Structure 1
Amino acid sequence: MSELLRVEGLSAGYGEAVVLHDISFALGQGQTLALLGRNGTGKTTLINTLAGATRQHGGSIGLGGAALHKLPSHERAKAGIGWVPQERNIFKSLTVHENLTAVARPGAWTPQRVYEMFPRLAERKTNLGTQLSGGEQQMLAMGRALVVNPKLLLLDEPLEGLAPIIVSELLRAISRITRQEGLSAIIVEQHPLAILDISDSTVVLDHGTVVHADRADRLRNDPELLDRLLGVAR
């Protein structure tokens, strides 16, 4: 398995405020990493830093051999980053189809493939972003990230605030994208048991530092560790 992403000694934050301290980890090609931690530990800041939306104070980010940390956010998308932020950030004044075609780049993932994965979006192809439910907006945000045809998909709390039936649908889609299609992904989620089953490795943050990094199955199968690190009891 070849390495796709390597983060070394990363420090970053907002303005002069440093939130992340000396973060290091690696991710292999076709692997999924669960990025976990309690509220306020720096998970979203790390995702935003990989996407180029924070101020980096030190360290390096390499993606497929390219020095990602030297690139602005729009160049990181070209280099292979697909980003689904917490806020989703879809173009609400555009239709579903316009959202997808406005950013699409050549590759395996096309708007048609997104419609096949999310039939709800196909049914609402001509609806504006403002006319979609929260779950449909999340599907559109994921679809928009996919049609960029990224090497690495960043998902920041993709299941947050959604109805159980939508959560199940999104989990199936994420599993298909990563397990069947082999797209590498980093997933932030407040409910770790929801994503550890579909992850290969895990990194746990606390106060902006890495306090645990291991295979996902080891954390999933260790109730005491889950409780100590994340306050999760089976």
Structure 2
Amino acid sequence: MADALLQIDDLSAGYGEAVVLTGISLTLAEGRTLALLGRNGTGKTTLINTLAGATRQHGGRIVLGGVELSRQASHRRAAAGIGWVPQERNIFKSLTVHENLTAVARPGHWTPERVYAMFPRLAERKGNLGTQLSGGEQQMLAVARALVLNPRLLLLDEPLEGLAPIIVEELLRVIRRITQDDGLAAIIVEQHPQAVLAISDDAAVLDQGRLVHTARADVLRTQPEVLDRLLGVAR
């Protein structure tokens, strides 16, 4: 793919000697959003963590914008353009909202001020410590922290997990805006397939550490019987 931003070739990875992913090959073009689906324990988080540099890569290649990342440490991957929002969020809970953002910000389109405009809740709480935020606000801050790195690729690992419906709707709107309107490429792991397929361009399904299905997101969204077979849940 000539315009591929991310190229994954025959990737195998895991934790220590344990291999979780085998033979993963994927491409993601500039400005595209990929929904990464699969049952629990199929390797979705491991793939996200591997892209971010938090696992042991046993084989294959990861190339972002022409730069080989396979042997790079996490901080070098961030500098190369990876923005990572892990399930644990990893915000600095002893720092204020504003300090969380300014501590990691890199020059570019996404500034703390732009992030505050997108997340008014964070603007209202910029002087609050991370420990003083609700779960939804902590998730917003985790996304905001990834954005002020000014990444080329945003990795979101179950960003909607455990959040109230009103916060889920707000986050979905934001993710749709930064990907569709601002053109940031993203990979989103999510347990709610219909929600994430609605804001994605492409979809990939993992099973037992292998890639078993790829499709356009809008096509897969209209195939509940296929989703049911692949995920064990149609909606």
- TM-score between both structures, scaled by the size of structure 1: 0.99
Q: Deviations over 1:26-72 (max 9, x none)?
A: 00000000000000000000000000000000000000000011211
Counting only pairs closer than 5 Å after superposition, residues 1-234 of structure 1 correspond to structure 2 as: 2-234=3-235
In 1, distance between residues paired with 2:94 and 2:234? 43
In 1, distance between residues paired with 2:62 and 2:234? 34
In 1, distance between residues paired with 2:45 and 2:234? 23
Aligned-residue offset at 1:223: 1.4
- Aligned residue identity for 1:7: I
Q: What SS does the corresponding residue of 1:69 show, helix, strand or coil?
A: coil
Q: What SS does the corresponding residue of 1:190 show, helix, strand or coil?
A: coil
In 2, distance between residues paired with 1:94 and 1:129? 6
Q: Percent identity?
A: 77
Q: What SS does the corresponding residue of 1:99 show, helix, strand or coil?
A: helix
Q: What SS does the corresponding residue of 1:186 show, helix, strand or coil?
A: strand
- Aligned residue identity for 1:30: G
In 1, distance between residues paired with 2:234 and 2:105? 42
How many pairs are equivalent?
Answer: 234
Q: Deviations over 1:131-164 (max 9, x none)?
A: 0000000000000000000000000000000000
In 2, distance between residues paired with 1:95 and 1:223? 43
Aligned-residue offset at 1:198: 0.9
In 2, distance between residues paired with 1:150 and 1:128? 25
- TM-score between both structures, scaled by the size of structure 2: 0.98
Q: Deviations over 1:2-22 (max 9, x none)?
A: 110010000000000000001
Q: What SS does the corresponding residue of 1:70 show, helix, strand or coil?
A: coil
Q: Deviations over 1:161-205 (max 9, x none)?
A: 000000000000000000000000000000110010111111100
- Aligned residue identity for 2:71: K
In 2, distance between residues paired with 1:5 and 1:166? 30
Aligned-residue offset at 1:214: 1.5
Q: What SS does the corresponding residue of 1:155 show, helix, strand or coil?
A: strand
Q: What SS does the corresponding residue of 2:229 show, helix, strand or coil?
A: helix
In 2, distance between residues paired with 1:68 and 1:212? 25
In 2, distance between residues paired with 1:26 and 1:133? 36
Q: What SS does the corresponding residue of 1:20 show, helix, strand or coil?
A: strand
In 1, distance between residues paired with 2:219 and 2:122? 37
Aligned-residue offset at 1:232: 2.3
- Aligned residue identity for 1:218: V
In 1, distance between residues paired with 2:158 and 2:168? 11
Aligned-residue offset at 1:233: 2.5
Q: What SS does the corresponding residue of 1:204 show, helix, strand or coil?
A: strand
In 1, distance between residues paired with 2:19 and 2:169? 36
- Aligned residue identity for 1:193: Q
Q: What SS does the corresponding residue of 1:160 show, helix, strand or coil?
A: coil
